[in-house]
Amino acid sequence: MTNMDKLYDSVAANGPVCVGLDTEIGYLPATDPAKTAGENVVEFNRAVIAATRGVAGCYKVQIAYYESLGLDGLRAYAETLRMARATGLPVIADIKRGDIAKTAEMYAKAHFTGDFEADIVTLAPYMGLDSISPYLPYCKEQGKGVFVLCRTSNPGSRDFEYQTLADGRTVYTMVGDALTQLGADYMGERGYSSVGLVIGGTTGEEAAEIRARYQNTFFLIPGYGAQGGKAADIALYMKQGNGGVVNSSRGILLAYKKQPGVAFDEAAYNECVRMREDIQSECDKL
């Protein structure tokens, strides 16, 4: 089985919530002065993982939050990946690498093996398909996966991604088409390619068209909650309640601020359950 197969099975069993462990030290309700910033982050993440492992489809770890703490942070990053992968749930390393040739080979080795090993990584495609190809041997030989930026959730996505080409397609559609063609050689048992797409969920405008166009492509869907994405929009990107995972970072990590008197890990669990039910309710209406 590929890691996209495992992601599909996890969504079927636990729901589509992707817990974003994009943990800034300022998110912690309290810190231990005897521990480093990285050690405090690890303890916070440990509690969140333990609380949510039964209601999360997967975990996503954004490397920038850890890099900002230097070597201490990178140790925390490695330990967070290890803890998350120990749950048996798929783990996405949100690294958004986009380089080529030997450099890309080294990035692939760094994040698919060793201390920073993850199951799936995020990539940026705008240097061309040769920025993706160095990761594909790991998909073929080890079942690893990639989520490649396509139609993102940030307001600036319209600067480039929505530009119209001579053939009438948008840039994001050109990217999605090329990656879908590339991913056809890496299909898993559940009918999805190991080459997935990042499709922002902050709008439902093109949702039906995008889902219909990329039937065999798994989506990583950011934008729910803090960025304004609604469950009704998100549901349109799913395929019978599967085929995608929906990331929430601040909404889960900071849920305790909206649940007075509730411990941060319990609040994270409560938010995962609420989010899962919210999305499932909208999926059931389709």
Greatest C-alpha distance within the chain: 61
At residue 225, the pLDDT reads: 77
Superfamily of domain 3-284: Aldolase class I (3.20.20.70)
**Cross-strand bridge partners of residue 3:** none
Sketch the domain layout of the chain as residue ranges.
3-284
Residues annotated as part of the active site: 96
Give the 3-state secondary structure of residue 19. Answer: strand
**Cross-strand bridge partners of residue 59:** 19, 91
Retrieve residue 1's tokens. 């089985």
At residue 205, the pLDDT reads: 84
Spans in the chain with pLDDT lower than 50: none
Whole-model pTM over 0.85? yes
Amino acid making up residue 7: L
**Residue reference for tokens 């969504």:** 11
At residue 111, the pLDDT reads: 98
* pLDDT tens digits, one per residue of 131-177: 999 999 999 999 999 999 999 999 999 999 999 999 999 999 999 99
